[in-house]
Every structure is written in structure tokens, then in C-alpha cells.
């Protein structure tokens, strides 16, 4: 019961804090749950908890802890011989490799994440794999048609389940792809579909919406709306991947509009978050912005 309680509390820290996700607290609870499960001889639960601890480290950009967690979780999962044990391990590994600027490896883990989730009957995890483990690395590799196909696979499962918590994440990825293709009107339509389940009272959903709407409004040259949405996404400015990603997008927008003095503090803020973390994908993107500042 203590292991289950720790898992539930960790997920609450991970997702449900009103103003900022408490990733270090979630990490600590999952580490404790993993240790207790291992002591009880339940290697499947130990591996799953360790994998989720690594994911929490990913999200707070502690890539060294994420790497250690993935390695330890993989060893536990292989000892357990359980598909269910392997799903969180490949989840964390896919995210870590993407943030580390290793998209080919991220894609390999994303495929394993999806395949294992399907085999284990974990359809919600399969949708998450499409949204976070398959389409993003394919997009980063420039394989946009394949990235789109991954979102189609995710939506097919969503329809079978009559909606899931990750539908918005799949549609958010589709918005990104449509904007890369220059299909702004279709991106706006996809945004409308994403908004059908939007709850403005949900802080996390509210900020995710800002992250998706900002680029669409920028593409439509509705700059004031774009800026408001990015500021909404950034929120109070936690030091995690979501905030960093949105600061980078917002800084790029400001530089594209010739607003270098407005961009300067944004670029400085995100550099302070990502410098030295090992999240090379984000570090390189910020370095590109810094090079554009006069």
C-alpha cells in the first residue's frame, strides 16, 4: 500500500501542482517507491517506479540523473522480464535522448515504447508514445510525413478509446507539423479541435494551450495575441523543459520581428535554465538565438 500511495503522490507532484510541477518531489517519491518494491521482491514495480523517476529528471533537465535512472530501470526491467516494466524505461529514454540532441536514438526508444505498450494492452501509453516518442524525433530528423503518420496512429487509438488525456498532445504535434509545411489555416483548424476539450480552469492545460496557440497566431501575423499566448505558456518561469522550449520559441519570434532588445532578457533567462544541463538540443537552440543578438 505504501508503494501505491507513493506512486499516486508522485503523479500528483508531476502533473497536478497548480502553478508549477514539483519534479524533484516526484523524483524522490518514485525513487523511494522503487526501493521499497525492490525490497519486497517486485522487480516490475521497482523498474516502473525507477523509470518514472528518470522521466521526472528529464522534465527538470537533470540529464545526468535521467541517464542513471534509465540505466538502473533498464537493468531492473530486464531482470523482471516484464513488458509492463519496460514501457516507462523506454518512455524516459526517448525523452532523454531527444533533449540530449540524439533524435535517432530517441526514435528507437520511441518505437520500443509504442510496440511494448501495444503488446501490453496499454493503449494510453501507446497514444503518449505517438505524441512524445515518435512524432517529435521524426520531426527533428526532418521526416515530416512519417511524423504525421505517427499522429494519425495516435488519433486512431484515441477514437477507439473515445478520447484520452493525450489527445491534446497529439494534436499539438500536428499543429507544429502543419506550421512547418506552411499550412497555417489547417494548423488553426487543428488548434480548434485541440480546444474542444480545453478547460481554462486547468492551469496545466491553460499553459499547454498558450504553447500551441502562440506559434499559430505568429504565423497569422497576429503578433499581440502570439506574445500574450507565449507569456501564458511560460507562466512564472520554472526551470523545466516546457518553459525552456517556450522561451526559445518566444525569443525566436521576437528576433524574427526585429525586437532584439525585447528578446535579450528572454534569451538570457532560457540560457540560465539550460546551460550545462546536458540538454544539448535546447542548448544549441539557445546558442543560435544568442548568435542573432546584436
pTM: 0.93
How far apart, in whole angstroms, are the C-alpha atoms of residue 14 and residue 245? Answer: 18
Give pLDDT, residue 19.
55
CA distance 76 to 211: 36
Domain ranges of the chain: 1-100
Q: What cell numbers appear for 246 in the block?
A: 517556450
Contacts of 6 (CB under 8 A, 6+ apart): 29, 30, 32, 33, 36, 49
* 224 Cβ contact list (under 8 Å, min separation 6): none
Query: pLDDT by residue for the chain (294 residues), tens digit each?
Result: 688 899 999 988 888 654 566 899 999 999 999 999 999 999 999 999 999 999 999 999 999 999 999 999 999 999 999 888 999 999 999 999 999 999 999 999 999 999 999 999 999 999 999 999 999 999 999 999 999 999 999 999 999 998 777 899 999 999 999 999 999 999 999 999 998 877 766 777 788 899 999 999 999 999 999 999 999 999 886 889 999 999 999 999 999 999 999 999 999 999 999 999 999 999 999 999 999 999
CB atoms inside a 10 Å sphere around CB 6: 21
Give whole-number Cα distances, 233 to 21, 138, 163, 204, 236, in Å: 14, 24, 24, 9, 9
| HEC letters along 17-33 | CCCCCCHHHHHHHHHHH
SS (H, E, C) the chain: CHHHHHHHHHHHHHHHCCCCCCHHHHHHHHHHHHHHHHHCCCHHHHHHHHHHHHHHHHHCCCHHHHHHHHHHHHHHHHHHCCHHHHHHHHHHHHHHHHHCCCHHHHHHHHHHHHHHHHHCCCHHHHHHHHHHHHHHHHHHCCCHHHHHHHHHHHHHHHHHHCCCCCHHHHHHHHHHHHHHCCCHHHHHHHHHHHHHHCCCCCHHHHHHHHHHHHHHHHHCCCHHHHHHHHHHHHCCCCCCHHHHHHHHHHHHHHHHCCCHHHHHHHHHHHHHHHCCCCCHHHHHHHHHHHHHCC
pLDDT value at residue 140: 98
Which among 256, 289, 263, 261 is positioned nearest to 275, based on CA atoms? Answer: 289
The three cell numbers locating residue 215: 506559434
- Terminal-residue alpha carbon distance, the chain: 58
Amino acid at each position: 500500500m505504501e508503494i501505491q500511495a507513493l506512486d499516486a503522490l508522485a503523479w500528483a507532484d508531476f502533473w497536478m501542482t497548480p502553478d508549477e510541477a514539483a519534479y524533484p518531489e516526484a523524483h524522490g517519491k518514485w525513487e523511494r517507491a522503487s526501493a521499497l518494491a525492490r525490497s519486497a521482491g517486485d522487480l516490475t514495480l521497482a523498474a516502473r517506479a525507477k523509470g518514472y523517476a528518470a522521466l521526472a529528471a528529464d522534465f527538470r533537465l537533470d540529464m545526468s540523473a535521467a541517464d542513471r535512472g534509465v540505466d538502473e530501470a533498464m537493468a531492473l526491467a530486464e531482470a523482471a522480464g516484464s513488458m509492463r516494466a519496460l514501457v516507462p524505461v523506454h518512455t524516459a529514454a526517448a525523452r532523454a535522448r531527444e533533449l540530449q540532441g540524439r533524435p535517432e536514438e530517441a526514435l528507437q526508444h520511441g518505437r520500443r515504447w509504442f510496440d511494448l505498450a501495444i503488446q501490453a494492452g496499454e493503449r494510453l501509453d501507446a497514444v503518449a508514445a505517438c505524441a512524445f516518442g515518435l512524432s517529435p524525433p521524426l520531426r527533428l530528423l526532418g521526416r515530416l510525413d512519417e511524423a504525421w503518420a505517427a499522429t494519425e496512429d495516435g488519433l486512431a487509438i484515441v477514437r477507439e478509446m473515445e478520447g484520452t488525456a493525450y489527445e491534446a498532445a497529439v494534436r499539438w504535434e500536428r499543429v507544429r507539423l502543419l506550421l512547418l509545411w506552411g499550412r497555417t489555416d489547417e494548423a488553426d483548424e487543428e488548434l480548434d479541435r485541440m480546444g474542444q476539450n480545453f478547460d481554462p480552469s486547468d492551469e496545466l492545460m491553460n499553459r499547454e494551450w498558450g504553447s500551441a496557440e502562440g506559434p499559430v497566431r505568429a504565423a497569422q501575423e497576429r503578433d499581440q495575441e502570439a506574445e500574450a499566448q507565449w507569456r501564458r505558456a511560460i507562466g512564472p518561469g520554472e526551470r523545466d523543459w516546457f518553459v525552456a522550449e517556450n522561451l526559445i520559441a518566444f525569443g525566436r519570434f521576437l528576433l524574427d520581428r526585429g525586437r532584439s532588445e525585447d528578446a535579450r532578457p528572454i534569451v538570457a533567462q532560457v540560457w540560465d535554465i539550460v546551460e550545462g544541463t546536458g540538454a544539448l538540443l535546447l542548448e544549441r537552440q539557445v546558442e543560435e538565438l544568442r548568435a542573432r543578438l546584436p
